């Protein structure tokens, strides 16, 4: 199992202030800054949003920073709360097992891959995919995928519609998350970036494979 590999045990314990919590706080602070800018920028807020959110025109203009800045912007309170909640729930144990640096790389790499796949869909089918992308969802779905890969049999209890408790294994959560993302990407009917979610999951799984240590050759063919 992936969780039994030595390179996944780099952290011996949680630090007093985890990187996961820092990321949650940063997302909240940036969202509050968005609200202030929207209220007091006298119409310039949309210009800044277009500069920092991920978009096809932005990448064509070589605004490569958008691949990272879009991951810290959110469109509303519910968007922010759901992403921060999932980031905190899945991030804590991943950070403990992977270490701070690898955890951060996993999170950002998943976000970048998810963003690129969403933009690819926007290029191929501009009628059905939004012009700009913002939010931590792609990175968060990368964490969920990595969590399910490392702890597939771990049981999780989630609140369906914030009311009904549902207990399922991590691998089952990943399966349903991927199924919903695929269906949403193939039949887009809302403003949810399903292709970014799917790309984030793929990015998380790819990064875990890239983390495999280089083993010395035994000379066998």
Domain ranges for the chain: 17-210
CATH 1.20.1540.10 given to domain 17-210: yes
Nearest to 122 by CA among 55, 203, 192, 201: 55
| Better-scored residue on pLDDT, 13 or 199 | 199
Phi/psi region, residue 43 (left: phi>0; alpha: psi -120 to 50; beta: rest), is left
pLDDT digits (tens, 9 = 90+) for 92-146: 999 999 999 999 999 999 999 999 999 999 898 877 777 789 999 999 999 999 9
CA distance 161 to 152: 24
Q: How confident is the model at residue 81 (pLDDT cuts 50, 70, 90)?
A: very high
Are the C-beta atoms of 141 and 177 separated by less than 8 Å?
Answer: yes
The mean predicted confidence, pLDDT, of the chain is 84
CA distance 139 to 71: 7
CA distance 65 to 55: 11
Question: End-to-end CA distance of the chain, in Å?
Answer: 25
């Amino acid at each position: 199992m992936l969780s039994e590999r030595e390179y996944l045990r780099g952290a011996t314990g949680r630090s007093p202030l985890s990187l996961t919590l820092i990321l949650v706080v940063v997302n909240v602070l940036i969202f509050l800054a968005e609200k202030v800018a929207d209220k007091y920028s006298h119409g310039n807020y949309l210009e800044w949003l277009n500069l920092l959110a991920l978009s096809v025109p932005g990448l064509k203009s070589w605004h490569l920073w958008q691949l990272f800045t879009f991951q810290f912007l959110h469109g509303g309170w519910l968007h922010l709360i759901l992403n921060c909640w999932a980031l905190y729930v899945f991030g804590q144990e991943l950070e403990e097992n992977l270490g701070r640096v690898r955890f951060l790389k996993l999170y950002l790499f998943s976000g970048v891959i998810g963003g690129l796949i969403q933009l690819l869909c926007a290029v191929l089918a501009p009628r059905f995919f939004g012009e700009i992308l913002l939010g931590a969802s792609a990175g968060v779905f990368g964490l969920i995928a990595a969590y399910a890969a490392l702890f597939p049999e771990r049981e999780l209890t989630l609140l369906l519609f914030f009311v009904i408790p549902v207990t399922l294994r991590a691998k089952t959560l990943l399966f349903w998350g991927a199924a919903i993302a695929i269906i949403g990407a193939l039949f887009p009917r809302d403003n949810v970036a399903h292709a970014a979610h799917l790309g984030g999951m793929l990015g998380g799984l790819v990064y875990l494979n890239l983390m495999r240590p280089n083993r010395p050759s035994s000379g066998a063919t």
